[in-house]
Structure 1
Amino acid sequence: MTTIENRLVGTDLGLTSYADVPTSDTPQKAKDFTSDQEVRWCPGCGDYVILATVRSFLPELGLRRENLMFVSGIGCSSRFPYYLDAYGIHSIHGRAPAIATGLAVTRPDLSVWVVTGDGDALSIGGNHLIHALRRNVNMTILLFNNRIYGLTKGQYSPTSQVGMVTKSTPMGSIDHPFNTLSLALGAEATFAARALDSDRKGLTEVLRAAAEHRGTSFVEILQDCPIFNDGSFDVLRKDDAEQRLIRLVHGAPIRFGADGEFCVVRKGFGLDIAATAEVAESDIVVHDAYTDDPDYAHALSRLSDQDLRHVLTGIFRSVRRTTYDDAARAQLQQANAQRPVGPDASQALQALLNGRETWTVG
């Protein structure tokens, strides 16, 4: 463990993401977070219910609206900041995590959120996303995944399934899509979760945990695009959805189905689906979202497939690690404490300018 990490353990690792953010003096309601802007998404878009859920959830935090910052990139989801009565930036395509990193490092009094889409975050913004995750910057990233480019009118995206016919793949996509949770966990995300747009209860629970987590919280939200990928997640909303949806609850055995007739068991170095009646109770995996074992969360992410035969929702992983912004501020404090003052400062500057890292070029 480094000197910086030693200084931070027991401080930042026990705090919520918004420990330094000023709280409101009065109770808040969803309408307090509703801006005067007309919401402009296509009728039936999943963004509407996500917006309503976020507006209803934010009062729980009790934070001053002036200290909430929502940063978005480019895409349908990126209109989100306009519709919240809080501060926001409609930024550059794929660069929202980079801008949010600057805010989180320089302004610990802000609760920083990133709103992005599968195209914005995983294509042009893929590099920025993975580095925000590995650095563990204190922010919450909401990735709206409709498996299509909506704003630019229906091209396939990095999460579109193989064979999908779009304007840019008239014969069907030949690209293998990202498994978003596997990607996040592979980038060392300390918090990774998934929710379905229409599952308001489940989405709220995930948002609550993500907001509490100090570090980068990554939340994938599966949502419908009624124009260019209509009904893409309908199988997760139908009567037999219980045969497909696997809801993760920390400390509970992972069972699913209308009567819990299916379960998750260990198989070799990974996990698999089994019939509950055919395995011993002790063989059923009990979900542990807080384990330090990254392989377990990754194995969970691999159970979800692009054909939606099985889709896991809930919190895959939530662990503590020093945040990039806390470490950066600790370094600045250390540098300031060691900075010479008075006559010594001038001598220190000359020593720096004439130090061993200078050369004479003849």
Structure 2
Amino acid sequence: MSSDVRFTDFKSDKQPTWCPGCGDFGTMNGMMKALANTGNDPDNTFVVAGIGCSGKIGTYMHSYALHGVHGRALPVGTGVKLANPNLEVMVAGGDGDGYSIGVGHFIHAVRRNVDMTYIVMDNRIYGLTKGQASPTSREDFETSTTPDGPKQPPVNPLALALSAGATFIAQSFSSDAMRHAEIVQEAIEHDGFGFVNVFSPCVTFNDVDTYDYFRDSLVDVADTDHDRSDYDAAKEIIMDMDKEYQGVLYQNEAADSYEQSHGVTENTAEIPDGAPEGAMDLVREFY
């Protein structure tokens, strides 16, 4: 790790194709700032992403990266981290990718408590496929495929994480740049599975959960007397359906990470025999 790494060192030369104003720009910028602030560098960072608007984030960041398949980013990230525990592994996805087809992997990744960071860009809609309701969409959210709304309550990812035994649960807002970066940094520094649900508005297909909505409704737990180590207090906030919260909602610093409890300390990753010289440099250049 380097102490003089800069935020810009994590920027690739690929230009994002997200819609102008997309919340994913702010989400990614906060991730890069947090990585730099924790002393990581691109050569020590591996970003895994799935499918959706968030899926190409590894292309836009300068690091090792893998753009996987729908809902399967977490098992890939787990494998990378356990093969080389010296890497800083960050998994990125969207609400559809993570809380629909990938929800089973999410729950078990929480249970294992592998020391990596999971960032979910929650825009409460399927953006890449042009505006269908997602698992976190409101019950009455009208789309072209659900003109009367999904007619089912939204998934509460924070509650899923808490019930599965999460040791770090946080929520942030991509437009609150400094606070978002601080929260992601805390997730990286947490010794275990750091989960951050990020409100990342879709300006093209979601005219309900907008920047203005989150600015007006968010309550930062840093401005309250919330005790992040208190499970019952965290449960009360997480189950409060009338408010939107940001900050670290729960943290259990006493729990051992998977690596600690299973004695995973050594890098067991190997480049296969026959791989051409400079192959890993080519992989990094591609991403």
Partners of 1:196 and 1:331 in 2: CA distance:
34
Partners of 2:160 and 2:104 in 1: CA distance:
12
Aligned with 2:180 (options 186, 203, 221)? 203
Q: Which has the higher contact order (CA 8 A, sep 6+)?
A: 2
Aligned with 2:153 (options 170, 173, 176)? 176
Q: Which residue of 2 aligns with 1:72?
A: 49
Partners of 1:132 and 1:219 in 2: CA distance:
13
> What is the CA distance between 1:64 and its match in structure 2?
3.1
1:287 aligned onto 2:226: yes
1:317 aligned onto 2:262: no
Q: Deviations over 1:303-355 (max 9, x none)?
A: 244xxxx21110011113122233333599xxxxxxxxxxxxxxxxxxxxxxx
Task: Show the 5 A alignment for 1:1-362.
Answer: 23-24=1-2, 27-233=4-210, 234-237=212-215, 241=216, 244-249=217-222, 254=224, 286-291=225-230, 294-305=231-242, 310-320=243-253, 321-329=255-263
> What is the CA distance between 1:246 and its match in structure 2?
1.7
- Does structure 2 retain, via aligned residues, the 8 Å contact 1:104–1:325? no
- For the pair shown, the structure with the greater C-alpha radius of gyration is 1
Partners of 1:231 and 1:82 in 2: CA distance:
29
> What is the CA distance between 1:203 and its match in structure 2?
0.5
Q: Deviations over 1:187-236 (max 9, x none)?
A: 11100000111111211120121111011011010011111113513222
Partners of 1:319 and 1:64 in 2: CA distance:
27
The number of equivalent residue pairs is 264
Deviates more, 1:92-101 or 1:45-54: 45-54
Q: TM-score, normalised by structure 2?
A: 0.87
Structure 2: gaps (5+ residues):
267-287
The residue identity in structure 2 corresponding to 1:287 is: H
Partners of 2:70 and 2:260 in 1: CA distance:
27
Partners of 2:260 and 2:174 in 1: CA distance:
32
Partners of 1:208 and 1:172 in 2: CA distance:
36
Partners of 1:40 and 1:53 in 2: CA distance:
18
The residue identity in structure 1 corresponding to 2:83 is: T
Partners of 1:109 and 1:103 in 2: CA distance:
10
Secondary structure, aligned partner of 2:149 = coil
- Does structure 2 retain, via aligned residues, the 8 Å contact 1:105–1:329? no
The residue identity in structure 2 corresponding to 1:311 is: E
- Does structure 2 retain, via aligned residues, the 8 Å contact 1:236–1:245? yes
The residue identity in structure 2 corresponding to 1:289 is: R
Structure 1: gaps (5+ residues):
1-22, 255-285, 333-362
- Does structure 2 retain, via aligned residues, the 8 Å contact 1:105–1:328? no
- Does structure 2 retain, via aligned residues, the 8 Å contact 1:105–1:326? no
Q: Deviations over 1:79-101 (max 9, x none)?
A: 11011111111011101111111
The residue identity in structure 2 corresponding to 1:210 is: A
- Does structure 1 retain, via aligned residues, the 8 Å contact 2:259–2:265? no
Q: Deviations over 1:49-108 (max 9, x none)?
A: 222222233221222311101101111011110111111110111011111111111111
Secondary structure, aligned partner of 2:65 = strand
Secondary structure, aligned partner of 1:69 = strand
Partners of 1:217 and 1:64 in 2: CA distance:
19
The residue identity in structure 2 corresponding to 1:303 is: D
The residue identity in structure 1 corresponding to 2:252 is: V
Identity, in percent, stands at 39
The residue identity in structure 2 corresponding to 1:177 is: P
The residue identity in structure 1 corresponding to 2:256 is: T
Partners of 1:40 and 1:173 in 2: CA distance:
29
Secondary structure, aligned partner of 1:127 = helix
